Structure 1
Amino acid sequence: MTHPFISSGRLISYLMLAGLVAYGLNYQITKTLLHLSALVALITWLRAGVLCFTKKNNLPVNIDLKDPRIILSTLLLLSASIVLVETSLSDTFMSDRFRKDFVTPAICFALILPVAAVDKRAFQLFHWAVPIAILTMAIPGIIDQYHDSHPDHRTSGNLNLQIIYGTNLAILAASNIAILSSKNNWEKLGFIVFSIFAIGIGSWAISMSGSRGPLLSIIIVSFIAVGWNGYRYLGITKTTIILLLIVTLFSLIVYNSSTFKRVQQGFNNYSSDTRNSSLGLRLEMWKGAKDLIIEHPISGVGVGQQNDHFKARNQEEQGYMHPEATDFIHLHNDVINAITWMGIPLGLLFMAFAVYPLIWALKARKEVVPQAMIAVSVIYLLNGLTNTPSIRATSLTLMLSVVFLLLQFSAYRSETPSSSSNAR
């Protein structure tokens, strides 16, 4: 969307940049800045609306329906509407929580996406904001870990769940890795050193949290990002050496953390078919969810109502599901969770907002901004295989913050090619 209120549009982007940096320090600061950005965006929408009624010729407001910012904004509004309807039909604790955690941030981002604007300085600041955000989030988590003398302590940093903490750190680290692996940043020595330091500290914090999914996802993205750009620009030999160094670094990090022990336990539990292990309980829930999806493919069972069905089935069929698997508030998989609660049509439609950024980025994967988008999307979707980041405001806000900024920079580079090439 183009409009004459450039100052308001840039203010939104700078507020979101500040929110990204502040995220690791205190999520509440980021949430407040997001709400303030949405307020500025709402005022901008109203001013644009007034112009549409007062200007008869040469209308200074233009909406391009093919713009990815408009498309994502529409998908977020659609997902928020689905959640509002589904939660109104289900009187559970999870309904109230899901409505609060998803609808507000989704509407905020839907408002700011089309009207925000960036300049060259914002683009440059983003390069530094990401590693700074990693450090402000990773260092408190590491301090928490060493402050607790229990060897199995799984730190949560400034967030209340270690797996969300690990997922969000992985999102930031993946974005930084993609930006760093771009050829356009290889001559910026200070940025390279600072980014590598931040990625190392971030990976260390992820590993110390004991969250296996986030660590595995960041290792996968690191290989893809470095391998893709390395083979294109550095050649096979140099890239292979870099990849070997990455393997060594991650091996040392993992081996000297609680994650290594948890990975071993995971393999042992899986091989021994331990039903009440972390993986075993997930498999139990997914087995039960499969049956619920078959029985209720269109309507779903309702938000947060899967446990009622599981417990009823346990009474009818002895040993159907381990009792511990019937007490979780969600199903530990974003897609399975959505289609079990809402049915297949609405569940998949709800998840469209999370998949669209990846689809958009894959079409322009040779550019640095789409590559960063691919990295962020892959991390988010991979962690959604064993967790439900889409129903938590903390992970949703961070992912959409990074996606929001990347889409703004992509539009900026396409609209001002000479400026954007210098910014790279």
Structure 2
Amino acid sequence: MEATAIRQACDVGVPDTPKFELDSPVSLILKNMRFSPVAAWSAAVLLFLAPALNLIWRGGTGYCFFLLLAMALYAAVRNRHVSEYFSPLREYPWYVAGMCALLVAIIVQQAIYGMWKPRQFDAYSRFALAIPIFLMLRQMPARSFRAVGWGCAVGALVLGALALLQRPAGGWTDADRLNNDYTNAIPYGDTALLLAFLSVFTIGWDGKYRKLAACLKLVALIAGGFSSYSSGTRGGWVAIPFFLVMLGVQYGWFANAKRLAVAGAIVVVATVGLFSTPRIEQRVHDFSADISRLTNGDPNTSTGIRLELWRASVHLFTEHPVYGVGKGRLESSMEQLSKQGFMPELVVNERAHSDFFSTLAESGAVGIVCLFAFYFGSTVYFWRRRRSTDPFIRTAAWSGMAVSASTIVFGLTIDVLVPIMVTVLVALLSAAFLAAIDAREREISAAQR
């Protein structure tokens, strides 16, 4: 009887994992944490809606985020005397440091420079505010986190449908790129691509009706991919090889020569098919034309403007190596460089079109250290659990790594950490996947007592 109860105590709806019972050790933990089933259900609904609404409803992800934050602050106050509730602050120090680093750096910078630009706190604050949400979410039954994967899948499916329904005569072109009324084509296409691949990364969470779930999520991959394709976002497509390799490791595509051959053949056929489409051909041709025009002294191209912005950012860093020119002062600093003849006036921009170069110019060496701390803190705990024998933990780890990898790769050619709709989604997804790992580990530990 005891062995049966233990086996039943840990089921989160994945293969070979036990079912969560009301009298299980896990439920006793939740009772001690005073986290009600209604609260867990409400949080799961918000975790589903947050990614699903990101590119569909302006502010939709933000509303979900702040509702979760309100629940988290209430839970923190209610459990203020329960030391175990706050133990992750010590158990995940790099995550806590990474989520706070960029915000702290800007606060210190403004104090040193005597600046007051509260708007500059906005985007980075979402990472710090995700910490109390993480503390709350880890109290949920692990099976509740399946809502995140389905939220990504539904979001990708809707975006694919919109790309088809809104498709203009003659298809999407550089002059008419797919986006929405509150963002441009680049973050739109990047986010659609991330949602598409997260749909597949989270298949490992689907236990019941797994074949049906896998089919639906593969359709979501195609739909979200088509949406990204329609946006013409070249920089984001660089992440696709990284996603494919990660999926291959997660699902054992490289386990033997036969699987490797099949996976390789599929990738080659898909790649050849995509590169033969007019949209991809045009984007590749555009890049070649950009380089040709740049070498002839014309920087007024997508690629040329980025290179000029990066060159100017490096120059500003050499003049202000420690704290940079100040967050929010990049455009005015570039205007000065333009007047000095260092860069064309038409290139001046408030962002450097790269998280690295924007941070380098605006926040200097201190900012770069904090940026790398953010990258490391949002990746290291997923990396450590990528080979877990538990399928649920392994799925959460690879999904979390996909979010981290996308933030880094997308940030090479665009400022990912500036649009609120992007930072709030990244912050929430990272918190949710890490909380899923922690919740599952605690369930396994409770079942083994």
TM-score between the two structures when normalised by the length of structure 1: 0.84
Q: How does 1:303-322 map to 2 (within 5 A)?
A: 303-316=327-340, 318=341, 320-322=342-344
Does the CA contact (< 8 Å) of 1:134 and 1:172 recur in 2? yes
Code of the aligned partner of 2:185: Q
Q: Does 1:179 align with 2:202?
A: yes
Deviation per residue, 1:126-178 (Å, 9 max, x gap): 34332112112333244333378774311114641111111112222232333
The ranges of structure 1 where at least 4 consecutive aligned residues each deviate by more than 6 angstroms after the TM superposition are: 147-150, 183-187
One of 34, 49, 53 as aligned partner of 1:5: 34
Q: How does 1:360-375 map to 2 (within 5 A)?
A: 360-366=381-387, 367-375=394-402
Q: Is the deviation greater in 8-17 or in 211-220?
A: 8-17
Q: 1:18 to 1:151 in 2, by over 3 A?
A: closer
Does the CA contact (< 8 Å) of 2:248 and 2:254 recur in 1? no
Structure 1 Cα separation of the partners of residues 431 and 278 of structure 2: 33
Count of aligned residue pairs for this structure pair: 404
Q: Does 1:287 align with 2:311?
A: yes
Partner of 2:430: 403
Does the CA contact (< 8 Å) of 1:334 and 1:385 recur in 2? yes
**Shift of residue 399, structure 1, vs aligned partner:** 1.6
Q: How does 1:66-105 map to 2 (within 5 A)?
A: 66-68=90-92, 71-86=94-109, 89=113, 95=117, 97-103=119-125, 105=126
Q: Does 1:16 align with 2:51?
A: no
**Shift of residue 409, structure 1, vs aligned partner:** 1.2
Q: Is the deviation greater in 252-261 or in 379-388?
A: 252-261
Code of the aligned partner of 1:101: A
Deviation per residue, 1:172-228 (Å, 9 max, x gap): 223233334x59879821112111111011111111101001122124312442256
Does the CA contact (< 8 Å) of 2:88 and 2:135 recur in 1? no
Partner of 1:389: 416
**Shift of residue 287, structure 1, vs aligned partner:** 1.0
Partner of 2:267: 246
Q: Is the deviation greater in 407-416 or in 4-13?
A: 4-13
Partner of 1:192: 214
Code of the aligned partner of 1:4: M
Q: Does 1:237 align with 2:258?
A: yes
Q: Does 1:270 align with 2:301?
A: no
> Structure 1: which 5+ runs fail to align?
53-58
Does the CA contact (< 8 Å) of 2:51 and 2:195 recur in 1? no
Q: 1:349 to 1:79 in 2, by over 3 A?
A: same
Q: Does 1:260 align with 2:291?
A: no
Q: 1:223 to 1:310 in 2, by over 3 A?
A: same
Q: Is the deviation greater in 113-122 or in 31-40?
A: 113-122
Q: How does 1:27-38 map to 2 (within 5 A)?
A: 27-38=58-69
Does the CA contact (< 8 Å) of 2:417 and 2:423 recur in 1? yes
Q: 1:379 to 1:61 in 2, by over 3 A?
A: closer
**Shift of residue 250, structure 1, vs aligned partner:** 4.2
Structure 1 Cα separation of the partners of residues 205 and 123 of structure 2: 38
**Shift of residue 295, structure 1, vs aligned partner:** 1.6
Partner of 2:179: 156
Partner of 1:110: 131
Partner of 2:405: 378
Deviation per residue, 1:269-326 (Å, 9 max, x gap): 214424221111111111111111122111211123233333333433x4x3222221
Code of the aligned partner of 1:37: L
Structure 2 Cα separation of the partners of residues 209 and 299 of structure 1: 36
Q: 1:162 to 1:375 in 2, by over 3 A?
A: same
> Structure 2: which 5+ runs fail to align?
1-28, 388-393
Deviation per residue, 1:94-115 (Å, 9 max, x gap): x554333332x23431221112
TM-score between the two structures when normalised by the length of structure 2: 0.80
Partner of 1:413: 440
Does the CA contact (< 8 Å) of 1:208 and 1:257 recur in 2? no
Q: Is the deviation greater in 360-369 or in 249-258?
A: 249-258
Does the CA contact (< 8 Å) of 1:284 and 1:325 recur in 2? yes
- Where 1:145 maps in the other structure, the secondary structure is coil
Structure 2 Cα separation of the partners of residues 295 and 84 of structure 1: 21
Structure 2 Cα separation of the partners of residues 84 and 243 of structure 1: 48
Code of the aligned partner of 1:239: L
Structure 2 Cα separation of the partners of residues 35 and 96 of structure 1: 19
Higher relative contact order (CA 8 A, sep 6+): 2
**Shift of residue 48, structure 1, vs aligned partner:** 1.9
Structure 1 Cα separation of the partners of residues 170 and 57 of structure 2: 21
Structure 2 Cα separation of the partners of residues 323 and 251 of structure 1: 40
Q: Alignment RMSD, CA only?
A: 3.1
- Where 1:389 maps in the other structure, the secondary structure is coil
Does the CA contact (< 8 Å) of 1:281 and 1:325 recur in 2? yes
**Shift of residue 29, structure 1, vs aligned partner:** 2.2
Q: Is the deviation greater in 293-302 or in 367-376?
A: 367-376
- Where 2:413 maps in the other structure, the secondary structure is coil
Structure 2 Cα separation of the partners of residues 418 and 249 of structure 1: 43
Partner of 2:151: 129
